[in-house]
C-alpha cells in the first residue's frame, strides 16, 4: 500500500480567534473532508516554539491516486481559488509516503 499523509501549516490574514478565522477553519474541515478518499482530516493550532506557523490541516489517503483525485477534485480546486488564495498569507506543505507501519 502506498499511503500518503498530506499536511499543510499556514497563517491567515485574519486575527486569531476571530469569526473569520473560525469560519475558514470550519469551512476547510466541512468542504475538504467530504472529498472522496480523504481520511482522518484534522485541523490544528500549532503550538511549538520551533515553528511560527499558526494553523494546520492534516489528512490521509490510501493511495497516490486518491491523493491526486483530491488535488483535482472541484471542491478542492474551488476552496483553493475562492478561499485559500484570498485568506492564507503564507504556508508550508508536506506530503509523506508511508515507509514503515507498526
Within 8 A by CB and 6+ apart from 54, the residues are: 9, 10, 11, 12, 16, 45, 46
**Residues 25 and 55: beta-carbon distance below 8 Å:** yes
What residues does each domain of the chain span?
Answer: 18-39+73-89
Q: What is the DSSP pairing of strand 55-61 with strand 4-12? A: antiparallel
Q: What is the DSSP pairing of strand 55-61 with strand 39-45? A: antiparallel
pTM as predicted: 0.92
22's enclosing H/E stretch is helix 19-32
First to last CA, the chain: 14
Edge-to-edge order in the sheet of strand 39-45: 39-45, 55-61, 4-12, 88-97
9's enclosing H/E stretch is strand 4-12
Q: What is the pLDDT of residues 56-97, one digit of tens each?
A: 999 999 999 999 999 999 999 999 999 999 999 999 999 999
Residue 1 pLDDT grade (very low, low, confident, very high; cuts 50, 70, 90) = low
Amino acid at each position: 500500500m502506498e499511503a500518503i499523509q498530506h499536511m499543510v501549516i499556514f497563517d491567515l490574514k485574519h486575527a486569531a480567534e476571530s469569526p473569520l478565522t473560525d469560519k475558514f477553519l470550519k469551512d476547510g474541515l466541512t468542504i475538504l473532508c467530504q472529498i472522496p478518499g480523504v481520511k482522518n482530516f484534522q485541523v490544528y493550532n500549532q503550538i511549538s516554539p520551533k515553528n511560527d506557523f499558526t494553523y494546520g490541516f492534516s489528512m490521509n489517503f490510501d493511495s497516490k491516486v486518491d491523493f491526486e483525485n483530491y488535488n483535482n477534485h472541484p471542491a478542492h480546486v474551488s476552496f483553493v481559488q475562492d478561499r485559500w488564495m484570498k485568506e492564507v498569507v503564507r504556508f508550508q506543505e508536506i506530503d509523506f509516503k508511508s515507509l514503515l507501519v507498526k
